Amino acid sequence: MSEYQIISEGETVLRDGSIKLHGPDGFEGMRRAGRLAAEILDAMVPLVQPGVTTAELDDVVRQMTLDGGGVPATLGYRGYAHSCCISINHVVCHGIPSDKALKDGDIVNIDVTPLLDGWHGDSSRMYLVGDVPLKARRLVDVTYECLMLGIEQARPGNRLGDIGAAIQAHAEKYRYGIVREFCGHGLGRLFHDAPEVVHAAKAGTGPELRPGMFFTIEPMINLGKPWCKMLSDGWTAVTRDKSLSAQFEHSIGITEDGHEIFTKSPKGLDQPPYMA
Ligand code: MF3
Ligand code: CO
Ligand code: CO
């Protein structure tokens, strides 16, 4: 069997581990799901304030997803019971919404995945709560730069490893730790599909990028060491050394001459400080 599989949309969803090459219907579906994800993340901007609980933010994510005609793909996913993940400070990813309130100085990732008309729009951004120390703001800025430098490498003819190599080179300039335990992923009709998109790699390695491939890039970058551990709830991943961690995520598609970002903010709010 080939490493790639050309998909004609509407066919049975294949779970055979091959990398799917989608057509125009797939691009249209991902554009709509990605736009809803971006609108939800835009709506979080004024709500992320000291005192708000992460459960309150989760309620807004769920309501906006439903109002937009979708369902949160995380709801019921492998037993996960919430509409998004909210990861504060040293939480690397998959933070569970709760009655914990945000406080001044926190850095927070909100990760949403609306499933709209069969397509998954997966995206996350960092938010700054009140006054955030310079060291933490720099981590957030560099992590966003890592995502965008990775995306720059996404074009036909390049290899998947070129993306991780660009991210790694940038993060290492600052001596930050690049998380290895979690990676980006193919998506589309499936939430998590082939290929695995690692955020530290050798240039020129991995599968060749081809038009029609859909995947996320979602680097998690730590102020300290790269190591993570899982809390006893079975979801929350934290840095072992308790250092701060940041993450941004976009869903993209490879086009004939480059890429399309499905989850770009319609308001230009892709990155803090969101002074728009
Ligand atoms: N949205 C996450 C990702 O980027 C996955 C969250 S799965 C959950 O792939 F169950 F933790 F919500
Ligand atoms: Co993802
Ligand atoms: Co996500």
pLDDT of the chain along its 276 residues, tens only? Answer: 467 888 766 555 777 889 999 999 999 999 999 999 999 999 999 999 999 999 999 999 999 999 999 999 999 999 999 999 999 999 999 999 999 999 999 999 999 999 999 999 999 999 999 999 999 999 999 999 999 999 999 999 999 999 999 999 999 999 999 999 999 999 999 999 999 999 999 999 999 999 999 999 999 999 999 999 999 999 999 999 999 999 999 999 999 999 999 999 999 999 998 764
Q: Is 106 in the pocket of ligand 1 (CB under 6 A)?
A: no
Q: Which ligand is nearest to the CA of 124?
A: 3
Q: Is 4 in the pocket of ligand 1 (CB under 6 A)?
A: no
Report how far ligand 3's centroid is from the alpha carbon of 208 (Å): 24
Q: Is 191 in the pocket of ligand 1 (CB under 6 A)?
A: no
Report how far ligand 1's centroid is from the alpha carbon of 93 (Å): 8
**Per-residue pLDDT, 12:** 59
Q: Distance (Å, rounded) from C-alpha 156 to C-alpha 95?
A: 35
**Per-residue pLDDT, 1:** 44
Where is 41: in which H helix or E strand?
A: helix 24-44
Report how far ligand 3's centroid is from the alpha carbon of 237 (Å): 14
Other Cβ atoms closer than 10 A to 36:
25
Q: Is 111 in the pocket of ligand 1 (CB under 6 A)?
A: yes
Residue located nearest, by CA, to atom 11 of ligand 1: 94
- Cα dist. 156→7, 10, 32, 253 in Å? 18, 25, 23, 11
